[in-house]
Structure formats: structure tokens, C-alpha cells
Amino acid sequence: MNGRKRATSGLMVAIAAVLAMLVGVNPALGTPRGDGGTRVCGKTESTPVAGGRYEAQNNLWGADTPQCITAFDTGFVVDPADHRNEDGPASYPSMVWGCNYGNCTKDTPFPKKVSELAGLRSSWTVEVPPTGDYNVSYDLWMDPTPRRTGRPTGLELMVWLKNTPRVQPIGEKKAEVEIGGTTWDVWLGAIDLPTISYVRQEPTLEVKDLPLDAFVADAQQRGVAKPEWWMTSVQAGFEPWIGGRGLATRSFSADIGTPAPAP
């Protein structure tokens, strides 16, 4: 599933580099750079995208290695990032929809009662580098109160679309479940708050209309999410341990629409 570049002659590489300088394109990733995006390098820095509907955050919290993202309306690309963590994530560069440490995206429906999340869906397309250790994951945060500031205290619900072998969720695998037409491993654990992680058995770099509400419903059935709690944000990004340069969100959207019909 990792992206690989075809062998290219030196002449073609030189031509691509010249064109990149002329039009502001990164030849390795095919992404506009410079004036075509917003550079974000502060550890906790973020920038609004898509007219403020979402926020793209650098979120460098687990390492002192330099990391930046270049954000666009449709997503972001990580560069640089050459992390060397052996026992946990260096960061979580991500798209945010909702409220995150006092910063709420424009016209967000969050915080929203967990019992009112029917129809919560998301589409997401990413690219990954050929090396490094990381996951590609959603992060859904819940709190007993309609929290807009600080860190939620109820539950962290993660949905992993892909991970390299060494990168594992918090806790232990407890079950398997069918959601959205595919099978997910269910992991349960806790560090400072309970975490439930759904790990896709068949990795993917793209999802369309992923029923996030179905994961929330499953977490309620397992007793780790409460219907009276509040979801504060939906986030989608990467947890790099080793490397990280070249991780990219190409497109992202999320919405609360009409619930899917019961099977």
C-alpha cells in the first residue's frame, strides 16, 4: 500500500525539478508548495482550511524533532519530519472538525451529544511514504460535559485505516467487529483515560462515507462510551513514530447527515 516512485532518468528528474520551481510543486508528492499553502511549524500551531470548516494542526507533542505541515483547503502534507521514537508517537498532524483545546472550527455542531450522532460520516484519502513507522487514524474525543477547552476526559475512540507492523494500539485486542462492510480488530486499554481502537484488518489509504456513528454505537454497546456524553471533535491524521516526512492528507470531509438504513 506504500507509495513508490518509478525509476526516472536524470534528465527527467532535472526537468521535474525546474517545473517544480516554476509552478510551486513538490515533484515527490505532486502538491503545490510556497504560495499555494500555509506553512505550520509550531508544536501546537494550526491553521483554518476549507473556509474555516476544518483546522489543520501540526500537533507535535511526543518529540523534539522538527516537524512542519503545509496546509491546503483539501488537506496537508508533512515535511519535514524525521522522528526517531522507539516507544510511542511523536505527533499527530491532523485535520480537526469540532472543538480542540478552546479552538472551535467554523459552524461546528460540536460538542454534540453521543446519543445524537446518527449519520456521522467521513471520507478521507491519504498518501504515505515508502519507509517509516506510523498509523493512519481517526481520533474521536468524548467528554462527560460539553467541553470546548482542555483535554476531554471521557473516551478516546480511534479508527485505524493502516499501520506499520511495529505500531500497535493502546491495550490489548479484545474482539472483532464488522463495520462498513469490512472487519476491524477491537482493542481496549487506558493510559490516562480509556481508549478503544478499531484496527482495519485490510489496510486502506482511502475511505468514502465511513460510518463513524457505527463505531460510536459499538463503543456504547461495549460500555466504554455513554449516550449522555458529548463528542467534542472528529480528527483524522497520522501518528508517526519513525520518520513522518511525506505523510499527506489529499482530501478530507466529515458531516452529520441522514442515518444509514438498518441492515
Per-residue pLDDT, 36: 73
Per-residue pLDDT, 258: 72
Entry pTM: 0.86
User: Residue 8 above 90 pLDDT?
Assistant: no
What average pLDDT score do residues 72-79 get? 97
The residue that leads in pLDDT, 21 or 227, is 227
Per-residue pLDDT, 260: 60
Per-residue pLDDT, 31: 38
Q: Does domain 12-250 have CATH number 3.10.20.740?
A: no
Per-residue pLDDT, 261: 61
Per-residue pLDDT, 91: 99
Taking the CA atoms of 211, 216, 221 and 224 in sequence, report the sign of the dihedral they define.
Answer: positive
Lowest mean pLDDT among 162-176, 210-224, 249-263: 249-263
Among the residues of 112-258, which ranges form H helices?
A: 212-221
Per-residue pLDDT, 9: 30
- Summarised one tens digit per residue, pLDDT across range 76-85 is 999 999 999 9
What average pLDDT score do residues 15-27 get? 34
With a CB cutoff of 8 Å and minimum separation 6, the contacts of 128 are: 1, 2, 3, 134, 136, 162, 205, 238, 246, 247, 248
- Summarised one tens digit per residue, pLDDT across range 23-47 is 333 333 333 444 479 999 999 999 9
User: Residue 255 above 70 pLDDT?
Assistant: yes
Domain boundaries, the chain: 12-250
- Summarised one tens digit per residue, pLDDT across range 177-221 is 999 999 999 999 999 999 999 999 999 999 999 999 999 999 999
Look up residue 94 and give its three cell numbers.
491532523
Per-residue pLDDT, 60: 99
What average pLDDT score do residues 144-151 get? 97
What average pLDDT score do residues 74-100 get? 98
The set of catalytic residues is: 156, 239
What average pLDDT score do residues 54-60 get? 99
What average pLDDT score do residues 92-116 get? 98
The string of DSSP letters for 70-99 reads EEETTEEEEEEEEEE-SSS-S---EEEEEE
